[in-house]
Chain A
C-alpha cells in the first residue's frame, strides 16, 4: 500500500438470498479514501447505497471482497471485534438523529465512550467539550425531546466525534431538517472537515448537500458509476 488510505474497499460484493433467488445488491465495489476527505455518496433508492453504508459502518459484512480501515482488514472480524471497531473508529450520524430519549445531552454524547470502559468523569468532561464545540454548551442537561431538530443533529454530531473516529458516516444528515438548518449542519460538518481534518462520508440524494463534498461517488444498481 503506497498511500495511507483511511478506508479501502476491494471488490466488495453483497448478495442477499431470498428462498432460492440470489439478489446481488453490490457488485464488485472498489473504493479508496484518503484521510481528511469529504466524500458524498449519491444514488437513487434501491441502488445499494444503504447496504454499502452498512458495510462501511461495520454493521453488515460483505459476501466477498476485502475491507480495510486504517490499514486493518475488518471484513472477516467477529461480532465483538466489529463492535470494537465501531466504538473506536467510526462515528455515525443518522437522518433521524437516533438519540436515546431518556438520556441527557451529555449522556447521549458520551455513549460511544461508555462501551470503551472509560472513567465516567473523563467521559462527562469530554462530552461537555464536544457539546460546546457544536454550540450546545447551554443545553447539557436537556433531554432530546426538549431540543429542536437542528440541535438534536448537533448532539448526534458531537456524539459521532467524541471517540475521535477514523471517519464519520452520515446517512442523509439533513433529511429531517429544513433547508436553513440543514445548511447550518452542513457548514458545521464542513468546518470540522477543514479545521480538524475529520474524514466525512455523507450519503445524500440532494445534490446541494453533495456539493459540499470534495468528491462525489455515484452508485447505481450496485456499481459505482463515477467517482
Chain B
C-alpha cells in the first residue's frame, strides 16, 4: 500500500477537527498526559539536580582527600551534665600519627569558629577557619583578588585574612577589599585576598554550609588570638546563653598519595583514632566513597521518581482510552455510514488511532512545556538545583505518544469491528 503524505495529512486534519469540536472534553482528556509528562520531566530534573549537588559537594572536599572531623560525643545523661567546658575532638597527637602513615601525602588541620566580623559600621557573621597555607591546594579554593597567606606569613603570625566572596559582598559592596582592615572579635586583620565564589551546596551526608562566608587566617595567628575555645550559641533547651567547648582541631584534611589507597588509608586512620580516643568524638569522611554512594542513591532516587511519574502517564492513557471508547459509542452511526460508503476496517482504525495519538501528543507537548517550567519555579522558590536533561524530555514525550497508541488501539479496533448494519441502525 502506498502511503501518500497528503492522505496522512488529510487523516490528521480530520482527527484534529473532531478533537477541536470537543475542545473542553479533549483538554480534560489530555490533562492526564499533560501532568504525567510534566511530572516525569520535573521529577527527573529535581532528582538530577539533587545528585548534581551531592556530587559537587563531595568534589569540593576533594576526591583524593579523606576528611576527619571532630564531633561532639553524645552526652550520656548524668555524666556530662556538670561539665561546663566539654573537651573533645582531634588532637596534635592524632595529627602527628596520621602524618606518619606512608600513603599519606599531607595533612592539613583546621580550627573553626563562628564570629562576628566588622568593617566600619557593617558587620556579618563568618566562619573563621584557621589553617595552613596549603589549604587552597587541597580544597580546590581559588583566590580571585590578592593572594592566600604563605608559610612566611604563617611563621610570622601575621594578622592576615582571606575572605569568602559573600563576606566581600556584604562588607565591601562597592569598594576594594584587599588591603582593608577588618575586626574579628577584638582583633584587627588585614584582608589580603578574596576567594572565588563557590556554589552553595547541600547534600547527602553533610550539613549545608556556605563556604562563601568563610574567612581564612593562619592557624598560628588563630592560636595566639583565639586559643582553642569555641564559643557557640546553645541550641537545646536548658542552660540559656552560650556554650563553650575546647577543641584542638576541628578538621584534618588528609591528602592521600594514590587514589587506590584511599580506602585502606581511611581504615588505618580509623584504627589510630580508635586507639587514642575513649569516645567517638571524631568522624571520618571519604569523599570518593560518598561520591559512589551518592551516585548510587541518585540512580535509585531517579528510578523511583521516574516510575511514580510514569504511573501518572499510564493513568493519563487510561483517561484517553475511556474517552475514546465513549467517542466510539457516540459515533457508532458515523462509523456505520463510513463503512457503508467504502471505508475499510483499517481506515476506521487509522481515524480513531490518529485522534488518540493527536490527543496524547498535544498532551505531551503541553506537558513538556510545563515540565520545563516547573523545575525553574522550584529552583526559584526552593533554591534547589534542577537539571532538565534533553533525554528526559525525549523519553517523556515518546512515552506519551506510545501511551496514545497503546490505549487508542483497543477503542479503534472496537470501532473497526462494529457490524456496519448494526452501526447504521444505531440511534
Contact = CB atoms under 8 A, between A and B. Distances in A.
Contacts of B340: 57, 59, 86, 92, 98
Interface residues of B, number: 24
B343 A100 contact: no
Given A57-B340, A59-B421, A60-B421, A115 B345 contact: no
Interface string A72-86: 000000011001101
Contacts of A116: 342
Contacts of B339: 59, 83, 86
A92 to B, nearest CB: 5
A100 B337 contact: yes
Contacts of A79: 344-345
Interface residues of A, number: 28
A88 interface: yes
A100 B342 contact: no
Interface string B328-363: 000001101111111111110000000000000000
A159 B337 CA distance: 11
B367 to A, nearest CB: 28
A102 B22 CA distance: 11
Nearest to B336: A98
B420 interface: yes
* Chain B interface main SS type: helix
Interface in A7-34: none
B344 A83 contact: yes
B4 A115 contact: no
A57 B342 CA distance: 11
Nearest to A85: B342
B421 A54 contact: yes
Interface in A109-158: 111-112, 114-117, 119-120
A183 B21 CA distance: 36
B10 interface: yes
Contacts of B420: 59
Interface of A: 54, 57, 59-60, 79-80, 83-84, 86-88, 92, 94, 98-102, 111-112, 114-117, 119-120, 159, 163
Interface of B: 4, 6-7, 10, 17-18, 21, 333-334, 336-347, 420-421, 424
Can you list the 5 inter-chain pairs with the closest CB atoms, starting with the nearest? A87-B342, A83-B344, A115-B342, A86-B342, A112-B341
